[in-house]
Structure 1
């Protein structure tokens, strides 16, 4: 062996100690050899010094080897132990191995070759056992760490579940509060609007120009506030899953013209052209006319709000697979691609500051997105900053009333950078891209 080994020989007989020393020396073992005569000295030596191997005679002066081995093991002193036995002690040797001895060798077989072989084997077995014990210890520690981590994960999961429950409860309470407050606010707002309209009628007396102007402001602001309240109420219903579509057969062209007619005065106030183009062979569809008109009013309101000059246009035409597409475009400020998804989020606007130029609740497009998905449709958005925006809504001619917003897929962008409110839209978005408008000219 290349390394220098510390070897302890425990034997009361000097002749036996000499035999072991001589055999190891002749075998060329590099070693530091230490000798003691009894078990107590051996225990003291092993308690204070680490040895690479111990040759232990079974018969000691003060005790037998089995007692010493048990004493060492109980004190957790670990060292390769080779027990030297007399002739006929083989049965005893088996007991010693069970107690913790590494190997045994009959004194009659001591020779340089056998002693060296037993020495090498004992050290190799001992080191393998130590490595296995270390690996087992590491496995136990790892297992304990995993148990602790699993326990911590379970605690965290329970905490998260509790937080989710609290969030759901808070969300439900918020939705209920919004619905209740919206209902409560609509009653006085309707009264304000109604009485303002009555005061403006000539048969109730002539008003000065200043008085008429003030009442018109009350009326207009009341209508605006009622619209905001209605948005909050619709959103709370959509969020709670309590908004149902009331479908019927109606003329799509008439609903579009009604929506455009209601918004024309706002466009005229900003000197904006408001154009309509219908290209339908059959204008009858099965949908909710009230909600479809609401979608158009919201889109037109946004288009007028964010357009300072130029034109607003509305178009409708046939699509394959018994579908129609409604387009609302403008020559307004446009939307950056990074904000395509954000504008469809509830209470989200591109400008979130309290000093923003364009007011609103940030619910309009979120409501539109939910309603369109309830109708089994998709929204496409094309926009360029400083040039304008185009919203395209694809709808089936006949909606399925079992379709609910919760089952509809989330909004996303397609490969061409066209925003769409549904997943399976690649073919449709491609068609929409090819049919895109040329800014600022009106084109379907």
Structure 2
């Protein structure tokens, strides 16, 4: 111990204090030694001065040693304390240690070596206990902070849940509004289209060139507006989970050719080549022909819209006995890789400005993606900006109906590959029930 220690000795026996002082001196302890004769003076000294260690007699004239320790503890005075006991008092040291004393030393065993050892041990124990108490306090504070943070997180989570409920309610209201408005708009739009077509009939009189041009514009714009309304209606049904697939057996090549035939006039108007290639050993599939045609028309419409010159290809191939793939390629403007992740989002277009060159609702690809997933298929995009795009759809030959009509459809569906092997037999009725 090289540093100077402040040591307090509390004992009413002058001879014992002298023996204690001589032992410390002979041990070579660098110290400032302070002496008092009773507990009250010791308590006053410890209240005003910080000591490195205090040695006190168990039998003080004004109070018991246990009382002295308890008084220090209740006053939150922390100091290494060693109890000096007389011969035969060793049995009471357990109580003193439990009360807060650091160590004890029998007066009969006081020697320079023993005193240094006890002094060093008391200081080390005291600092170890102090550090342990500090760590425990820090752990307690950390635990309280964690509890507070957990409570705050729970409160934030409740707020997020409430906001999610509100957003869900708003989304449901929006979907309901879109479905209602779309349905209400279809009635007058169908009337406009119907009356426009009636005006072209010769029995109602021959129209002048100018009148025919205006009626044709009304008809074409009415059809275009009805298409947009139908897109919004389909999307709202998909979002609300109210659009069901109506499965039936059909020739997929006929549906593809029908969709291509409806879009060929638009391609011809832009001098675009529209080619179809079918490579199927078995062209029969069980799917929803109306929704499959809708997917093809949306893909072809986009290809024609974003292609100024060149070609558009539609390819149908077999992936396996149970899956087919439909590919639509174009030589259009292409899509940048950074836009791939948002191209299938609803109401999203690459050009979001009101002065954009290519009009539309931004729902076509979102509807395609939802329908393909409902059919148990996948859609893939490969595109290079300025060189064209390729949309590939992989579909099962036989979809699984998730709606209530699934039970009814089971009566006419055949299981697995057996349905397609029977289709190859021209004498077998394909819609024959089991």
Which stretch shifts more, 55-64 or 15-24?
55-64
1:46: Cα distance to partner? 0.6
Q: Which residue of 1 aligns with 2:424?
A: none
**Deviation for aligned residue 1:12:** 2.1
Structure 1 pair 33–237 and aligned structure 2 pair: CA distance change class (3 A) = same
Instruction: Quote the Cα distance in structure 1 between the aligned partners of 2:19 and 2:161.
Output: 75
Q: 1:280 to 1:106 in 2, by over 3 A?
A: closer
Aligned to 2:33: 33
Match of 1:60 in 2: 60
> Partners in 2 of 1:66 and 1:300 — Cα distance?
96
Q: Does structure 2 conserve the Cα–Cα contact (< 8 Å) formed by 1:376 and 1:403?
A: no
Q: Distance in 2 between matches of 1:276 and 1:29?
A: 104
Counterpart residue number, 2:246: 246
Q: Could you state the TM-score of these two structures normalised by the residue count of structure 1? A: 0.87
SS in structure 1 of the partner of residue 402 of structure 2: coil
> How big is the shift at 1:403?
8.7
Shift of residue 146, structure 1, vs aligned partner: 1.2
Note if contact 2:244-2:403 (Cα within 8 Å) is conserved in structure 1: no
CA 73–270 in structure 1, closer or farther in 2 if over 3 Å, else same = same
Shift in alpha-carbon separation, 1:351–1:92, aligned structure 2, 3 A: same
Normalising by structure 2, we get a TM-score of 0.89
Give the structure 2 partner of residue 181 of structure 1.
Answer: 181
User: Could you tell me which residue of structure 1 aligns to residue 310 of structure 2?
Assistant: 310
Q: Distance in 1 between matches of 2:142 and 2:68?
A: 34
Q: Which moved more, 1:65-74 or 1:293-302?
A: 65-74
How big is each residue's C-alpha offset from its partner over 1:67-116, in whole Å with a ceiling of 9 and x where there is no partner?
A: 22221111000111112222333344343333222222222222112212
Instruction: Pick which of 317-326 and 131-140 moved more.
Output: 317-326
| 306-315 or 271-280: bigger deviation | 271-280
Instruction: Answer whether contact 1:375 1:403 (CA < 8 A) is retained.
Output: no
Task: Verify: 1:289 aligned to 2:310, yes or no.
Answer: no
Task: Give the stretch that moved more between structures: 136-145 or 387-396.
Answer: 387-396
Structure 1 range deviating more: 57-66 or 164-173? 57-66
- For residues 65 and 209 of structure 2, the distance between their equivalents in structure 1, rounded to whole angstroms, comes to 122
| 8 Å contact from structure 2 (residues 309, 331) kept in 1 | yes
Deviation at 1:64, TM superposition (A): 3.1
Q: How many residues align?
A: 404
Question: Counterpart in 2 of 1:166?
Answer: 166
Q: Which residue of structure 1 aligns with residue 18 of structure 2?
A: 18
For residues 396-411 of structure 1, what are the structure 2 equivalents within 5 Å? 396-402=396-402
Q: Is the 8 A contact 1:8 1:35 kept in 2?
A: yes
Counterpart mapping for 1:324-343 below 5 A: 324-343=324-343
Ranges in structure 1 where 5+ consecutive residues have no aligned partner:
405-444
Q: Is the 8 A contact 1:86 1:107 kept in 2?
A: yes
The residue number in structure 2 matching 1:387 is 387
1:2 match: 2
Cα separation, 2, equivalents of 1:34 and 1:232: 94
1:426 corresponds in structure 2 to: none
Distance 2:265 2:58 in 1: 114
Residue by residue, what CA displacement relative to the aligned partner does 1:185-241 show, whole Å, maximum 9, x if unpaired?
Answer: 111111111111111222211222222211111111111111111111111111111
1:264 matched residue in structure 2: 264
8 Å contact kept, 1:286–1:397: yes
SS at match of 1:344: coil
Judge conservation of contact 1:336–1:385 (CA < 8 Å) in 2. Answer: yes
Are the counterparts in 2 of residues 374 and 403 from structure 1 also a CA contact under 8 Å? no
Paired residue for 2:155?
155
Which digits, 9 at most, give the CA deviation of each residue in 1:111-156, with x for residues without a partner?
1122122212211221121111111111111111111111111112
Partner SS state of residue 122, structure 1:
helix
Q: Counterpart of 1:97 in 2: which secondary structure? A: helix
User: CA 1:101/1:318 → structure 2, altered by over 3 Å: closer, same or farther?
Assistant: closer
Shift of 1:394: 2.0
Name the counterpart of 1:346.
346
The answer on whether the counterparts of 1:182 and 1:230 sit within 8 Å (CA) in structure 2 is: yes
Distance 1:90 1:377 in 2: 87
Q: Which runs of 4+ in 1 moved over 4 A?
A: none
Cα offset, 1:61, TM superposition: 3.7
